[in-house]
Amino acid sequence: MATNPFDQQQPIPGVKKIIAVASGKGGVGKSTVAANLALALREHGTVGLLDADIYGPSLPRMMGALNQKPVVSEGNKITPVERYGIKMMSIGFLVNEESAIVWRGPMLFKAMDQFFRDVQWGNLDYLVIDLPPGTGDVQLSLVQKVPVSSAVVVTTPQNISLIDAKKAIDMFERTGVKISGVVENMSYMLNPANGEKMQLFPKGELNSYLDQKKIAKLVEIPFNPSVSLGSEAGIPIVESNSSGIEAQCFRDLAKKLI
């Protein structure tokens, strides 16, 4: 009889809640959301941040940890890097930013195993996982290997992004992962001249789709150049401007997830 792949699922010792940040489409702000959510969650407990985007790891740069290296000790145990009070692991700490890693399926599954079993996460209330875009091997291996407590799907307002968000939602539904809701990123921009909301992307059918599926929209995060500047500089907005609207959005998101 064929074995059930979900039988391999094992909790990560010491880790209470695993929150996966996903999207169907690339470039919608998963890594930005993952980093800032992790920072916002510090108010509620101990936090880890795993960059599972093995194809294009962004978190070392976004978290200002580019030149850091995790310590590998006896028995290949890996001590995570610590930044802003958060324990972090990324393949980006181990390879040069410009080199492409060409992963074959089995290598990818092994790398995911190491992230979960060989990294000494210690006691964490929350482990936030930043996923690559899409619904491929990384996502599948995540849901098969560890019990994901909640999935957050990031999208931008327009239908082009919604089409792919639906696929991510479908994947979590099929694999039995609880979807906490959707983050609408770059939802609007506040006009600096008069404070009025401007629509950078046309509103699509996201709201009616979520109503019909009874999935919550967790937060609408505005577009603000200071968010991307923060990412470039390695100081996410929750850290650099904790009183701004964007940081407040991430704190609201954190509260809804705990």
Q: Which residue's CB is nearer to Mg ion, number 31 or number 36?
A: 31
Q: Rule CB under 5 A: choose which of 19, 25, 31, 49 binds Mg ion.
A: 31
DSSP 244: S
Instruction: Choose, by CB under 6 A, the member of 11, 14, 27, 122 that binds ligand ATP.
Output: 27
- 228, interface contact from ligand ATP, Mg ion, none, CB < 5-8 Å by kind: ligand ATP
From residue 190 to residue 229, the character string flagging contacts with Mg ion as x (rule: CB under 5 A) and all else as - is ----------------------------------------
Does 241 sit near ligand ATP (CB under 6 A)? no
Q: Which residues contact 121 (CB under 8 A, 6 or more apart)?
A: 12, 13, 14, 15, 48, 80, 87, 127
Residue 185 site contact among ligand ATP, Mg ion, none (CB < 5 to 8 Å, cut-off depends on kind): ligand ATP
The item of Mg ion, ligand ATP, none sharing an interface with residue 65, based on CB under 5 to 8 Å by kind, is none
- Supply the minimum distance, in Å, between the C-beta of residue 143 and ligand ATP: 18
30 touches Mg ion (CB under 5 A): yes
Residue number, 30 or 251, with CB nearest to Mg ion: 30
Cβ at position 235, least distance to ligand ATP in Å: 12
Measured distance CA(69)–CA(81) in Å, rounded: 7
Cβ proximity to ligand ATP: between 46 and 142 the closer is 142
If one asks whether residue 26 binds ligand ATP (CB under 6 A), the answer comes out as yes
The region of 12-20, 157-165, 191-199, 221-229 touching ligand ATP under the rule CB under 6 A is: 221-229
> What separation in angstroms does the CA of 111 have from each of 1, 106, 257?
27, 9, 27
Contacts to Mg ion from residues 50-79, by CB under 5 A: 58
Picking from 255, 256, 190, the residue whose alpha carbon sits closest to that of residue 226 is 190
Q: Are 169 and 153 in contact (CB under 8 A)?
A: yes
d(CA 26, CA 147): 24
Helix (H, G, I), strand (E, B) or coil at 190: strand
Kindly report the length of the chain: 258
b vs e for 39-68, b when ≥16 Cβ sit within 10 Å of the residue's Cβ? bbbbeeebbbbbbbbbbebbbbbbbbbeeb
